[in-house]
Structure 1
Amino acid sequence: MVQSQINTSNEYLLRNAMWVQFQQNALTSPQIVVQHNGISQLVAQLVAGEPPCDKPKRNVVGHKDCVTTNNTVNKVHWVSSAFNHFNRLYNTPISGYQGVIQTLPRHYQVYFQQQNQGHFRDAQVAAAHFNRLARVEYSNMLDGVPGFLNDVLNINVTAAAIKA
């Protein structure tokens, strides 16, 4: 009988991991399927490679499509922890736009990072303001992430459009 010593971190991995399977499809890129979320982050880090040294705040591997088991090279990227919290699947509010809440008929408020960012009379202008706030805060981390910016034309939001 052979005995081996298991340290605490390995014991945790063995106790909580069900199995890891590598899938190869001729039409898609290789994908690693993980049954436990704790291991999924480790596998995603292996797929994503080294974090960018010129962007020290990007210390978390994020999944662009919010599916933590989709660890393909084109679906994982290094992001900040704030963006990883922002990058979630949300229900679309009644206004029809992310980050825009309709308070009264033709009265809209923009919420970004759980703070009120202004009052607007037009939902599209409010949605464009939300897009601008997200783009300033998260820059190119939003590239390739579907459905988190509002689908509006690039409307120039001026101070006159915001009812302080």
Structure 2
Amino acid sequence: MRLLGIAVMVCIGYGIWHAAIGGKRVSDAQVRELYQQYWEAFDRGDAKAVCDLFSDQVHGRFSSTARSMPVTETLDKATACASVGQFHETKQRLEERVGKALYTNFEYTIKSIEISPDRKTATVEVATGMRIGTEQGALLDMRSEQTDVVKSSFGKAQFVQSDGTVSFFR
């Protein structure tokens, strides 16, 4: 019985340590998995899954070159969550205009991952591309260069900041 009490105390101690320290450490593998989850959920139109990958406190700024004058937009959780629906609505409108189903192509390249010395955050430089089009070519071609900050809480990595530029080529 005494051994059971010690085992329970060890488990409780480990749980407290994990919640306070261990679960807040971010790793290279977590960061890579986070991006994989993001793009897979975005591609299938799963707004809830995408939304869950962003911290409630996520913030950021993006400058867009879609128009003749750059436009700066702010990022928060509501904006991040809405982006999935907006992208798929845009695709649907394009399909209606051209009269057929369109292909989507999502790609990302992680240029660098810098994990802080205390392992609580990772700063990630990433290039992304989203294209909608036909076999003949893209109707919408959007690319971004961005710097994201990722944190882990209870072993789950989330985006907490994202800043970058977005360029439209069609």
Same fold, TM exceeding 0.5?
A: no
Normalised to the residue count of structure 1, the TM-score between the two structures is: 0.25
Going by fraction, where is helix more abundant, 1 or 2?
2
Normalised to the residue count of structure 2, the TM-score between the two structures is: 0.25
Indicate the structure whose relative CO is greater, using CA pairs within 8 Å and at least 6 residues apart: 2
